[in-house]
Structure 1
Amino acid sequence: MTGWRVGWIIDEPENIEEYAKVSRASTACPPRISQYAAIDALNNDSHVEQMRETYEERRDLLVERMDDLDWDFVAPEGAIYAFPEVGQDSWDFCMKMIDKGVAMVPGEPMGPESDEKVRICFGSTTKKEIEKAFDTLEKELN
């Protein structure tokens, strides 16, 4: 249910308040339709394997294309994004690429060691869009 802004945690009662603090900041006002869809999804898991395969295909394509650019990265194993090092200031890189139609998130706000990294999400991006984005990246970087 990636991107639906719904979820749950099962833990010991003494830990729940700490999770609630994070939840208030990260899942405020989830859309009602997402909540109803989550209920339906929990009662029918026929979509799970299809979604897993779709994310895996997108991830594999993203990894292949990042390899082609010789970027340093750790292949995602559970997340719907990659965090490659692009070898230049992440803000400058992202601003230059957004002008070319490729949107990424600068890594610098995520920590001092991330100022040359970018976050690339593949959760709702099609394989065709990934191909187009990386064709543009290759053209601009070569």
Structure 2
Amino acid sequence: MVLESISKIIKIQLPAYLKKLPLPETIGGFARLTVSEWLRLLPLLGILALLGYLTIRPFLPKKKKQRDSLINLKIQKENPKVVNEIDIEDLRTPNVCYCRCWRSKTFPVCDKSHIKHNELTGDNVGPLILKKKTL
């Protein structure tokens, strides 16, 4: 039943649809098409554009992942080493996440910037999570 429906679409409905399309015989004829004729052509043009894109997509350049780059790009660059001290006794919430990707806008506290960093670089860095024990 499914194949019969597909067969009907391909053998009957598609040719009927294509016959009704206002396809000009010359390139200049496209300039003379009305708005309603262009609207009737849109589905076909969209499908052709999609097929064209899917055809050339394997040949398009791939997005390069950044590897072997600096980790700390902007935090306390004037210091030879970045050190943050936090007293465990000062933890006011049960869980505190500290940044290890150096991209956090709230450094040293994590703001989940590592997610974007990992996508760009292929890295797998995550936060340091300190949990306060309840006695």
Which structure has more RCO (C-alpha within 8 Å, separation ≥ 6)? Answer: 1
Indicate whether the TM-score tops 0.5.
no
Question: TM-score, normalised on structure 1?
Answer: 0.19
Structure showing the higher helix proportion among its residues: 1
Question: TM-score, normalised on structure 2?
Answer: 0.20
